[in-house]
């Protein structure tokens, strides 16, 4: 038997391009910064090998001229209230980004790390 607690929450995934900016900050960095300020426990950025979005432009690592602006996703697994606060922050700031939201169950395995270990 384990001591883990299953939480019912939200997977919030934002889609943008690696070079997309909100003012002078990369959108990927801006999203991570905002989530951290709101107390979200963690988030990750994933770069795609290829993809196209709402503008229909195919971007691949093999196309030299498009390889530096590949699609990216920024993903968070969080509580419902955290997701609402983060989305409100993104809306208020007027960030140009696509997002997806889905229900998830999640838990933390292992002992919690202290701030010294981070």
pLDDT digits (tens, 9 = 90+) for 7-65: 999 999 999 988 999 999 999 999 999 999 999 999 999 988 777 777 787 777 765 55
How is residue 41 written in tokens? 């426990």
What are the φ/ψ torsions at residue 25 (nearest 5 degrees)?
Answer: -115, 140
pLDDT digits (tens, 9 = 90+) for 53-88: 777 877 777 655 545 678 899 999 999 999 999 999
- Can you point out the beta strands (E) in the chain? 7-17, 21-22, 25-26, 44-47, 50-51, 59-60, 71-78, 98-106
Tell me yes or no: is domain 7-106 CATH 3.40.50.2300. Answer: no
Name the residue ranges covered by the structural domains of the chain: 7-106
């Amino acid at each position: 038997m384990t001591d883990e607690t299953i939480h019912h929450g939200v997977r919030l995934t934002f889609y943008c391009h690696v070079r997309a900016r909100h003012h002078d900050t990369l959108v990927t960095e801006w999203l991570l910064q905002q989530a951290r300020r709101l107390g979200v426990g963690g988030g990750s950025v994933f770069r795609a090998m290829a993809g196209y979005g709402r503008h229909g432009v195919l971007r691949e690592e093999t196309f030299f001229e498009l390889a530096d602006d590949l699609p990216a996703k920024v993903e968070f697994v969080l509580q419902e209230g955290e997701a609402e606060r983060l989305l409100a922050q993104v809306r208020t700031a007027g960030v140009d980004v696509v997002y997806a939201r889905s229900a998830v169950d999640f838990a933390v395995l292992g002992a919690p790390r202290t701030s010294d270990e981070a």
